[in-house]
Amino acid sequence: MFNSLIFKLNTGNEKASRNLLALIDGALAEPEFTCIVLIFNVYFTKSKILLLSLLLKFKFTTNQ
C-alpha cells in the first residue's frame, strides 16, 4: 500500500491521522516515491492536518 513509505504519527486524534494517511497515500501512489521516508510528529488541530496534507499532495503531484 505505501511501498517503502514509513510514517511515524504521534497524535491523539486517530481519525485525523487516518484521513491524513489516506490523502498522502493518494498523492504518493506513483512509483517514484517508493523510497521516501516521512516522519510526522502531528500535534496539530484538524484544520492544520488538512492543510499539511493538501500541501504535500500539491508538492508531490506537481513534481512528476
pLDDT tens-digit readout, 28-57 = 555 444 444 444 544 555 566 667 777 777
In Å, how far are 12, 41, 43, 54, 57 from 26, measured between CA atoms?
23, 20, 22, 11, 8
Q: Which positions ≥6 away from 53 have C-beta within 8 Å?
A: 19, 20, 23, 24, 27
Per-residue pLDDT, 28: 55
Domain that holds residue 54: 6-62
Minimum mean pLDDT among 17-21, 23-27, 34-38: which range? 34-38
Is position 55 within any domain?
yes
**pTM (predicted TM-score):** 0.26
Is position 32 within any domain?
yes
Classify residue 28 by burial, with Cβ atoms within 10 Å: 0-12, 13-18, 19+: buried
Is position 36 within any domain?
yes
Could you tell me which residue, 2 or 48, shows the higher pLDDT?
48
What mean pLDDT value characterizes the chain?
56
Give CA–CA dist 62/45, Å, rounded.
26
Domain tally for the chain?
A: 1
Is position 26 within any domain?
yes
Q: Which three cell numbers stand for residue 15?
A: 481519525
Is position 1 within any domain?
no
